[in-house]
Amino acid sequence: MKNYKYLIIPTLLFSLQLTSCNKNKELFVIPPTEEGKVQIHSMIQRVFINGPLEDVNLYVNGSEELSRPQEVSFSWHNEFNQDCTVYLSENKDYSDSVTYPVGNRNRISFNNLKIGTTYYFYVDTPENEIIYEESFTVSSEIIRNMHISGVTNARDLGGYPISGNRTLNQGLIYRTGRLNENDEETVVNKITNNGISTMVNDLKIKTEIDLRRIDNNEVGGLTEGIGVLGDTVSYYQCPMDYSYDFMGGELNDSSLRKLFTILGNKDNYPLFFHCSIGTDRTGYVAYLINAFLGVSEEHLYRDYLFSNFANIGGKRSISSIENNYPAVIKSYKGDNLQEKAKNYLLDKGVKQEELNTLKEMMVPER
């Protein structure tokens, strides 16, 4: 790399010593966390992530939008007021980097970062002079919650610990609330244009799976094919009824088989699924997927209860579901929850090869 022409300056509220190619320089970042890692969770989110599960109802109740991550912001000194470009990558050689034209501004905020991940970035001028280069690591605290403008209750199914000191791959399967209003004769978007850009351009979404019902137009005028994200994203309808105690019935079983057929095709990733508020039917599917992948029951419940941070119209508790589909899944044969979930899915008609593909996509090699 070239010599650095400018130095970073302390323009933000907190400071954090991070790995730097400029010795003895301090990077200023919002917000800091322990052990030299950047924190994307708000304080109230961290109270839940690190505390007793059921205590969540003491401080959030599903009635306002508190589910989004914090931005991570950096600033630098742009002495000659030049137009700059920021390059961000998960790779030290900047392969597969994302570019952010920032003009003559001297600050950038990153959102939707992967947990437990080290990022590298540098700021470049039109003359290819490097203003600054830095690396930072995001805290590995689960959950990887997402900010998608106009959409509530969005998060990654990846990032959870499983056996063998591994964590599920991130950036492949997401769960969210609905993207358009229910019950409308013509499509009325909830997601904003910025939200669409986040999903299509940043998250590289290829597939949307809608769990809302068709027969009563809960889907809000959508028909299978192209959804609100445009023609680059395949839109599938897998309607489920939310009135069954354990999400049973032929409608749900048939949609479950269709959903896992979609999950069984590598070309459909990255993808996301949702119902209306992204909590009940979405929670059922998320529980099944991650139970099959080996996520612990505690983390499965923590993922479910995180919906209380979103605007879902009311709070949820473990007692809301523990005697419903978790009890049914745990009634199946198997030495652990992972085996029981697999046998449940096979009994519903999901194919073994589809499960193999899902595991291949989400579980890193040892």
Helices assigned H by DSSP within the chain: 43-49, 193-197, 250-263, 281-293, 297-305, 325-330, 337-347, 352-362
- pLDDT exceeds 50 at position 21: no
Cα–Cα distance, 31 to 110 (Å, whole number): 12
pLDDT recorded at residue 35 = 62
* 81: number of Cβ within 10 Å: 10
Cα–Cα distance, 179 to 299 (Å, whole number): 26
Cα–Cα distance, 328 to 157 (Å, whole number): 22
Helices assigned H by DSSP within 181-331: 193-197, 250-263, 281-293, 297-305, 325-330
Q: Return the DSSP state at 331.
A: T
The CATH class of 15-31+70-137 is: mainly beta
Whole-number average pLDDT of the chain: 90
pLDDT recorded at residue 22 = 37
Q: Return the DSSP state at 199.
A: I
pLDDT band at residue 79, thresholds of 50, 70 and 90?
Answer: confident
- pLDDT exceeds 60 at position 25: no
pLDDT recorded at residue 34 = 53
- pLDDT per residue over 245-271, tens digit each? 667 789 999 999 999 999 999 999 999
Report the percent of the chain where pLDDT is more than 90: 81
- pLDDT per residue over 83-125, tens digit each? 999 999 999 999 999 999 999 999 999 999 999 999 999 999 9
* Those residues with Cβ within 8 angstroms of residue 232's Cβ, 6 or more apart along the chain or in another chain: 200, 206
How far is C-alpha 86 from the geometric centre of its chain's CA atoms?
23
Spell out the domain ranges in the chain: 15-31+70-137, 155-362
- The CATH number for 155-362, chosen from 3.40.50.700, 3.90.190.10, 1.10.443.10, 3.30.420.40, is 3.90.190.10
Q: Tokens standing for 324?
A: 């419903």
Q: How far is CA 201 from CA 121, 188, 194, 229, 232, in A?
A: 19, 21, 10, 11, 11
